[in-house]
């Protein structure tokens, strides 16, 4: 049952946030946390910040393409404030900011933009799942040991037989996901009339998620951790699904730590260091959001400033 009382929702968010903070405090070695900040490197973090801002610009171009927005300061500021709110506000409440502000651009109502945004989020989930599934399937074949077989040169026959069922299932799942992506683009995002627009939205979406991959890789490197592509893929997949759940705390508190902790432990880091690094990576991520908020505020101020 949905909680209709605003006071009850605020109380629930505060309670969950306090519980998560209490749990993280009990599990965190503050000496290790301090060490993670002392080992912090500025240059990779600044590079990650530039990639983060590039990803934001790509999201802006995707929004402008889907909703036919004029490409000006006002639409850019609206996209910026939506990015800030969607990350900082709990329980996915920040997603309501974009439909509310988009009415100022004209052409779309609140409900139209809200439902389009929901379908766009589903498209992103499917796209990330397709990318991750394709990579994991590729890794399954590339990393497998070749089993000797007298019926095939190099022993590939038995290898093929062992991996054929899971390969067929994975390929079918990827095909269904691709068809679902096409259906969302055509029927739910209003791009049925132009195949070129569908390709442009897909291309922008791919670039957005490639920038997220690079951003997380640089963020980990700024903390002294080198993550392989497979772990970054798992990080992207876990963070995407955790971000989509409408029960996140303030600024994604809890979900961020859970995903990063799992990936860092998989990278063979001690549990103490993994917890400390998951918290420090969250702090550094929030710093990016603060930078985006400052840029959005400056753009909004320029909109209201008198022309020279």
- Helices 271-304/195-222 angle, 10° precision: 130
Mean per-residue pLDDT for 158-162?
A: 55
Task: pLDDT band for 240, please (50, 70, 90 cuts).
Answer: confident
Mean per-residue pLDDT for 196-210?
A: 92
Q: What percent of the chain has pLDDT over 70?
A: 85
166 pLDDT higher than 80: no
pLDDT tens digits for range 50-77: 999 999 999 999 999 999 898 999 999 9
268 half-sphere exposure, CB direction, 13 A CA radius:
3
Q: What is the pLDDT of residue 112?
A: 87
Report the C-alpha gap between 273 and 295 in whole angstroms: 33
172 pLDDT higher than 80: yes
**Mean pLDDT for all residues in the chain:** 83
Q: What is the pLDDT of residue 122?
A: 92
Check if the beta carbon of residue 274 is closer than 8 Å to that of residue 261.
yes
216 pLDDT higher than 90: yes
Report the C-alpha gap between 301 and 308 in whole angstroms: 14
17 pLDDT higher than 90: no
186 pLDDT higher than 50: yes
Report the C-alpha gap between 214 and 235 in whole angstroms: 12
Give the residue, 2 or 298, on which the prediction is more confident: 298
Task: pLDDT band for 251, please (50, 70, 90 cuts).
Answer: confident
Q: In this structure, what token pair is assigned to residue 142? A: 């590339």
Q: What is the pLDDT of residue 5?
A: 63
Cite the DSSP H helix spans in the chain.
6-27, 30-38, 42-67, 73-88, 97-102, 110-142, 156-183, 195-222, 229-244, 255-266, 271-304
Mean per-residue pLDDT for 13-32?
A: 78
Check if the beta carbon of residue 9 is closer than 8 Å to that of residue 3.
yes
Mean per-residue pLDDT for 85-101?
A: 86
Q: What is the pLDDT of residue 92?
A: 78
Q: What percent of the chain has pLDDT over 90?
A: 40
Mean per-residue pLDDT for 89-105?
A: 85
Q: What is the pLDDT of residue 138?
A: 77
Task: pLDDT band for 145, please (50, 70, 90 cuts).
Answer: very low
Q: What is the pLDDT of residue 283?
A: 93
273 pLDDT higher than 50: yes
Report the C-alpha gap between 289 and 250 in whole angstroms: 13
Q: What is the pLDDT of residue 160?
A: 53
23 pLDDT higher than 50: yes
155 pLDDT higher than 50: no
Lowest mean pLDDT among 134-138, 144-148, 194-198: 144-148
Q: What is the pLDDT of residue 149?
A: 39
Report the C-alpha gap between 223 and 54 in whole angstroms: 21
Mean per-residue pLDDT for 175-181?
A: 90
């Amino acid at each position: 049952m949905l909680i209709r009382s605003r006071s009850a929702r605020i109380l629930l968010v505060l309670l969950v946030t306090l519980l998560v903070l209490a749990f993280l405090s009990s599990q965190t070695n503050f000496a290790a946390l301090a060490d993670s900040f002392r080992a912090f490197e500025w240059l990779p973090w600044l590079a990650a910040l530039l990639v983060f801002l590039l990803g934001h610009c790509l999201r802006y171009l995707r929004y402008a393409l889907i909703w036919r927005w004029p490409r000006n300061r006002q639409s850019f500021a609206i996209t910026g404030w939506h990015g800030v709110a969607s990350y900082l506000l709990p329980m996915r409440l920040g997603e309501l900011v974009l439909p509310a502000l988009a009415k100022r651009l004209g052409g779309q109502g609140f409900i139209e933009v809200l439902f389009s945004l929901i379908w766009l989020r589903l498209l992103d989930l499917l796209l990330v799942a397709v990318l991750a599934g394709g990579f994991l399937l590729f890794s399954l074949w590339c990393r497998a040991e070749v089993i000797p077989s007298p019926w095939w040169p190099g022993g590939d026959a038995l290898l093929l037989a062992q991996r054929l069922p899971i390969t067929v299932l994975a390929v079918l799942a990827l095909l269904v996901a691709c068809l679902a992506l096409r259906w969302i683009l055509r029927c739910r995002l209003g791009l049925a009339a132009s195949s070129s627009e569908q390709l442009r939205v897909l291309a922008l979406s791919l670039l957005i998620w490639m920038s997220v991959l690079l951003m997380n890789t640089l963020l980990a490197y700024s903390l002294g951790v080198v993550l392989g592509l497979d772990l970054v893929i798992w990080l992207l997949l876990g963070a995407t699904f955790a971000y989509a759940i409408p029960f996140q705390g303030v600024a994604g508190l809890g979900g961020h730590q859970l995903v990063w902790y799992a990936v860092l432990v998989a990278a063979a880091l001690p549990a103490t260091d993994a917890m400390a690094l998951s918290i420090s990576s969250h702090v550094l991520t929030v710093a990016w959001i603060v930078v985006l908020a400052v840029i959005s505020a400056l753009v909004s101020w320029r909109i209201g400033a008198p022309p020279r």
